[in-house]
């Protein structure tokens, strides 16, 4: 499957709001191939020459529903400023098993491959989460203890499984409302 900016489902398509189904393990060849293609998209999207040549928008994550497959699979890669991978996951059936009461948001707001229009405002999420999933890179069940940026990315991608987009969380009356006691991540 070709994954690029033209083939990613946008928020004007009702499919993006569809709930995703659990994935049968062990992974089928088809599911594994799709998940690895999603991971490649995320990796390649942050390399300017490759991104431009292949019509890729920069991303740290992508979920299967964004390519028209309503299954609980997501690929995440977070790189440092030099382009080195800080973390890399190809997750199947991830779910949050615990989360903090304390909230956090990104100072710059959030973006999404499926959202072409800008939606300014704070997206408050749990500052820390614990996620249980099958990681197709390690071929085993894992638990991710995440805080800060990674916690936000995980929650953003898992929202896709429920048909929720980041701007659904923005306060419509006061998009930059300061939530007392929350962490603003630069």
What digits encode the pLDDT tens for the residues 117-161? 999 999 999 999 999 999 999 999 999 999 999 999 999 999 999
| CB 92, CB 25: distance < 8 Å | yes
What's the CATH code, domain 14-185?
3.90.45.10
Place of tokens 């080195």: 84
Mean local confidence (pLDDT), 1-11: 95
Looking at residue 103, its pLDDT comes to 97
Helix (H) / strand (E) containing 44: helix 29-45
> What CA–CA distances, in Å, run from 49 to 2, 57, 185?
18, 12, 29
- The answer on pLDDT for 66 being more than 90 is yes
Arithmetic mean of pLDDT over the chain: 97
Model confidence, pTM = 0.96
Distance CA 43, CA 60 (A): 8
Looking at residue 1, its pLDDT comes to 82
Domain ranges of the chain: 14-185
- The answer on pLDDT for 73 being more than 90 is yes
Mean local confidence (pLDDT), 74-88: 95
Catalytic residue, chosen from 82, 88, 102, 157, is 157
In percent, the amount of the chain with pLDDT more than 90 equals 95
Mean local confidence (pLDDT), 35-40: 98
157 labelled catalytic:
yes
């Amino acid at each position: 499957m070709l994954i690029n900016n033209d083939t990613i489902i946008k928020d004007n398509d009702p499919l993006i709001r569809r709930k995703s189904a659990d994935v049968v393990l062990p992974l089928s060849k088809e599911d594994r191939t799709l998940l690895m293609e999603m991971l490649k998209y995320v990796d390649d999207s942050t390399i300017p020459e490759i991104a431009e040549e292949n019509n890729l928008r920069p991303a740290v994550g992508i979920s299967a529903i964004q390519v028209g497959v309503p299954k609980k699979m997501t690929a995440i890669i977070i790189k440092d400023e030099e382009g080195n991978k800080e973390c890399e996951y190809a997750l199947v059936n991830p779910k949050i098993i615990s989360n903090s009461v304390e909230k956090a948001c990104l100072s710059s707001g959030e973006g999404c491959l499926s959202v072409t229009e800008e939606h300014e405002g704070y997206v408050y999420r749990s500052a820390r989460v614990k996620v249980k999933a099958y990681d197709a890179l390690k071929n085993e069940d894992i638990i991710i203890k995440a805080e800060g940026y990674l916690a936000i990315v995980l929650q953003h991608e898992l929202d896709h499984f429920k048909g929720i987009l980041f701007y659904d969380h923005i306060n419509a009356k006061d998009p930059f409302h300061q939530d007392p006691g929350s962490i603003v991540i630069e």
